[in-house]
Structure 1
Amino acid sequence: MKVDILASGSSGNCIALTAGDSTILVDAGIAKTKIEKRLLDVGIMPTNVVAIFITHAHKDHTKGLPLANKYQIPVYASEGEWKDIQSVNEDLVYFITQESILFDYEGYQPWIEIISFDVHHDAYEPKGYVVQTKERKVSVCLDTGKVDDDMLHAMKKSEVYIIESNHEPRMVEASSYPNSVKARVLSDIGHLSNVQTAAALTELIQGKGEQIYLTHLSSNNNLPALAEMTAKRALYQKGFIEKKHYTLEVI
């Protein structure tokens, strides 16, 4: 499965996962025209997008959903999140259930299976996703204030982890954000800190060459080098060395 992170951060999030000629988008948080351009830039025709899966309805994850109407792409989100999504034609609306969703009919080969899991964010019913084929498993965990055992269980044994490493708590505390915003970011329904992300990775990485993408970094309250160093240090303490046991990229 080919991974292309088209956008990441508070200005918008969009991930393309491609198996064969079929592409799944996780989130569509930048303008429709930007999604089209960035798909083409990585060699993907927008007409090859077979589904869009939304983690939650905040604008930095849904802004580009008019793309679905233009290309008649089914959009999947939890029932709760559809309360805040109005930009999708009714015939393209699909509800996430506890069952996996399988794209295996003619024209969509190899098959792609999508399984959702609950995350912790200040939205109605936010989700993370496991997207897998026969050869590869990719876990996508974006906005969440904590990682619990059920989330770890869902993501374990992935070859690719796309996970947020949003902030450094001391930078948040020292920021000019209102106290209410600081409390939200740092809460269990806010965003993952670098240390929280590193701790989750030490539970997930098995040293089998996994690819890690650190995403959704705050432009005000984090530094790419800090997020990278925090994860690498935690994994080193578990005996894992980058480029030997895993690879890591900060988006």
Structure 2
Amino acid sequence: MAGTIKEGACDMKVDILASGSAGNCVAVATCGKTILIDAGVAKTKIEKRLLEVGIRPDHIAAIMITHAHNDHIKGLTLANKFRIPVWATEGEWHKISGVDEDLRLTAETRFSKYEMIDLGGMHVYPFKVHHDAKEPVGYAVEDDDGCRCCIVLDTGHVDQDIIDMMEGQIIIIEANHDPDLVPLCSRPESVKARILSDIGHLSNEQTAAALQQVIRGRGERIYLTHLSGENNTPQLAEMTVKMALRQRGFEAGEHYHLEVVTGA
């Protein structure tokens, strides 16, 4: 679940430590710094998986929270143990407890856009997404060499602002469900409606349509994440994206790299 893309002096590494409704956590490393996007599995599991990919937990520079649903913050007390600063929006902090006060940092807005968070060689850009949380965001991470990774984990639809943030070499995006499978699942009707809504989760088709707009065939790395175990399959997600990008003349392995990530 890891990948590195290099262009000249650019070297950015991502490790997807957990993905799905049981928990989400992504490590992004560049310029000698590592951050986590979300901490949605038990802190002991995060520690173990960090060590497995060669990252010391006490070397994490920050944890960036997309939103306060449990599958994104379950292991957030990891921050207290290793004194890691935690960033979240003001709206999401209202739903987050258990983080020591001196570690709580807020993503600020100016003229309706989030301000860049400068971590010294690593620049983090929060951006608005559309999910049933108070103030959810995605994150784009860029280094001084111009290498860029965009993380879009939970959103019911993709707007032009999100498309603009997705430009870059690495894209981590949810491909949550196949719309034809959702009505057939055993979940309550209210949950099905939520999944399919504009503040729910992206379908394979929505994800594919977004990628059609941003992929340039320059060797981009795409990671499809947050797949539903009940309403999707890795094969469906992969096929839908490949077919959409083939319409643009792009083939996997030749013009871009694609990985479907499952499991927490």
Question: Would the TM-score normalized by the shorter structure come out above 0.5?
Answer: yes
Q: Which residue of 2 aligns with 1:238?
A: 248
1:12 equivalent to 2:28? Answer no
Letter in 1 for 2:205: V
Q: Which residue of 1 aligns with 2:115?
A: 99
**In 1, distance between residues paired with 2:211 and 2:31?**
29
**In 2, distance between residues paired with 1:21 and 1:33?**
24
Match of 2:169 among 159, 163, 178: 159
Deviation, 1:99, is 1.0
Q: Which residue of 1 aligns with 2:100?
A: 89
Matches of residues 184-199 of structure 1 in structure 2 within 5 Å?
Answer: 184-199=194-209
Deviation, 1:87, is 1.5
Q: Output the TM-score relative to the length of structure 1.
A: 0.96
**In 1, distance between residues paired with 2:94 and 2:186?**
32
Structure 1 residue runs of 5 or longer lacking an equivalent are: 105-110
**In 2, distance between residues paired with 1:154 and 1:249?**
20
Letter in 1 for 2:38: D
Q: Deviations over 1:186-229 (max 9, x none)?
A: 00000000000000000010110000000000011100010000
Letter in 2 for 1:81: E
User: Could you tell me whether the CA contact under 8 Å between 1:21 and 1:48 is conserved in 2?
Assistant: no
User: Could you tell me whether the CA contact under 8 Å between 2:130 and 2:157 is conserved in 1?
Assistant: yes
Give the total of aligned pairs. Answer: 244
Letter in 2 for 1:122: D
Matches of residues 201-212 of structure 1 in structure 2 within 5 Å?
Answer: 201-212=211-222
Deviation, 1:134, is 2.3
Q: Which residue of 2 aligns with 1:178?
A: 188
**In 1, distance between residues paired with 2:86 and 2:99?**
8
SS at match of 2:155: coil
Q: Deviations over 1:68-88 (max 9, x none)?
A: 000000000000000100020
Percent identical residues: 59
**In 2, distance between residues paired with 1:242 and 1:154?**
22
More strand by share: 2
Q: Output the TM-score relative to the length of structure 2.
A: 0.91
Kindly report structure 1 stretches of 4+ aligned residues shifted beyond 4 Å.
none
**In 2, distance between residues paired with 1:8 and 1:116?**
20
Q: Which residue of 2 aligns with 1:28?
A: 39
User: Could you tell me whether the CA contact under 8 Å between 2:63 and 2:86 is conserved in 1?
Assistant: yes
**In 1, distance between residues paired with 2:206 and 2:128?**
17
SS at match of 1:52: strand
Q: CA RMSD in A?
A: 0.7
Q: Which residue of 2 aligns with 1:227?
A: 237
Deviation, 1:21, is 3.1
**In 1, distance between residues paired with 2:32 and 2:229?**
34
1:217 equivalent to 2:227? Answer yes
User: Could you tell me whether the CA contact under 8 Å between 2:31 and 2:122 is conserved in 1?
Assistant: no
**In 2, distance between residues paired with 1:222 and 1:213?**
15
Q: Which residue of 1 aligns with 2:3?
A: none
SS at match of 2:61: strand
